[in-house]
Amino acid sequence: MYRSRSSAHLVEQPTRVAIVVVVAAWGLAACGGAQKRAAPPACPRDAKVAAQEDIAALATCASFESLTIRTGAPLDLAPLAKLETIERSLTIGPTLAIDHVSFPALREVGELTIQSNALLRGVFLPALASASRVTIAGNGQVTTVSLPRLARVQHEVRIEENGSLEIVDLTLLAQVESLGIVNNPVLTTLELPSTIDVQHRVIEGNRALGELQPSVPSSGGGDHE
């Protein structure tokens, strides 16, 4: 049977159209897929950090009920710069290689515990205004504790047994039930307001401090200095 070139063209054309349609559909699907972005991971209520990838996973979080950092790794905490509130507890330690703690946006925390951190040299919480309890103890290399906006602590501030601690900045601390700054042998600068409302105060064993600075409250009822 004779078939003209024009009829052959008509037979082949549907195949070409089908191929074009398939390619176009694949292209639209690919474009749609490229536009979708993975949702950021949900922030846990109780976060635990032991490695740098744990910190990366929490970088978008502004609040936790609790955050615990315990590790032997040299972690960079800078990705947690958005952190603003921790309802129950922030615990750092024991650690072996974290050299400083800084949370620039943290305003409120329940219990703050920074203890047994071998290489920690500085604690900087410039926005922290309130806490229920603060414990900074047994950090052999820490030289500076800076909490310049901390105004009220419901229960206790305890800063003790930090062998290299030189500076403690509690410039705005107005009210605390119990204050203990004990056995920090090279402490030379202690900033406290003279009008602090404290029921029980112990400041002792800080050999380098010598005479208390004028900014440190004088002895009174319940004090032990």
Model pLDDT for residues 138-170, shown as the tens digit of each residue: 999 999 999 999 999 999 999 999 999 999 999
At residue 36, the pLDDT reads: 57
At residue 215, the pLDDT reads: 47
- How many domains does the chain contain in total? 1
At residue 42, the pLDDT reads: 85
Mean pLDDT of the chain: 85
Sign of the CA dihedral with 173 first, then 223, 121, and 131 last: negative
Across the beta sheet with 167-169, the strand order is: 100-102, 122-124, 144-146, 167-169, 189-191
Residue 1 maps to a domain: no
At residue 25, the pLDDT reads: 43
Residue 209 maps to a domain: yes
Residue 32 maps to a domain: no
Residue 16 maps to a domain: no
Count of C-beta atoms within a 10 Å radius of residue 84: 14
Residue 81 maps to a domain: yes
At residue 211, the pLDDT reads: 53
Residue 23 maps to a domain: no
Q: Domain range for residue 59?
A: 46-224
Kindly give the parts of the chain with pLDDT less than 70: 1-41, 210-225
Q: What is the pLDDT of residues 1-18, one digit of tens each?
A: 445 444 444 455 554 444
